[in-house]
Amino acid sequence: MNSTSAELRLQDAWRECERHVHHLFYAMAALKPLWPFTADKYGALTDEQVQDMDQFILRFTKLQDTMGERFLPAILQYLQEPYDTRPMLDKLNRLEKLGFIESVEKWQQIRSIRNRFAHDYPDDPEKNAAHINLAFETALDLYETLAAAASRLVADPYSLAALGNPLPQSTPDWIRPGEDGSRKGNNPK
């Protein structure tokens, strides 16, 4: 693959990620008054809140999938790393070594959380609420992983001119970590 098509593929994957981030944060803002979720809150969602919850689940899932299936592999292609046919774990190890992801373990944890909360348990609102709370907290990790990879791409020695529209400069204030490092410090009651 030549560098122009690799760059275009990377930029296209970036635009898709950026779109998912935008809608993910929108859904999170709509659900903010309910967070952290409890079994009672989860069981009493209005139709509109269910739509917001579905949007959150969809965008979190799509963002993680797009990053894993398109964006991260496109980084390796852009860098002309010979990893096209290698297993995802090999790609993640290489991306960690190059400084594009914090750690393979953290990425696998994000993937595991995505898999857990993507399922609905109609008879267990407590489990659903716990999975959604964990995904809300993990959304920040997902955002930070994407933002860090993008920053690395536009910095020396890679100097990619532009990926596309920038991500929001930061996550919404209410999901930032508290002074003790937990994200629960800034949550509304």
Residue 189 has pLDDT above 50, yes or no: no
- The predicted pLDDT at position 158 comes to 66
What tens digit of pLDDT does each residue of 126-172 get? 999 999 999 999 999 999 999 999 988 887 666 665 677 777 766 66
76 Cβ partners below 8 Å, 6+ apart? 83, 84, 91, 94, 95
Residue 171: which domain range?
3-186
- The predicted pLDDT at position 41 comes to 96
- The predicted pLDDT at position 184 comes to 44
- Nearest 5°: the CA angle 95, 111, 169 is 70
- The predicted pLDDT at position 160 comes to 67
The string over 155-164, giving b where at least 16 C-beta atoms fall within 10 Å of a residue's C-beta and e elsewhere, is eeeeebeebb
Name the domain count of the chain. Answer: 1
What tens digit of pLDDT does each residue of 8-65 get? 999 999 999 999 999 999 999 999 999 999 999 999 999 999 999 999 999 999 999 9
Mean predicted confidence (pLDDT) in 77-95: 95
What tens digit of pLDDT does each residue of 171-181 get? 666 555 455 44
Higher pLDDT, 169 or 82: 82
Is residue 64 within 8 Å of residue 17, measured between CB atoms? no
Confidence of residue 4 (pLDDT cuts 50, 70, 90): confident
- The predicted pLDDT at position 169 comes to 61
What tens digit of pLDDT does each residue of 103-126 get? 999 999 999 999 987 777 788 989
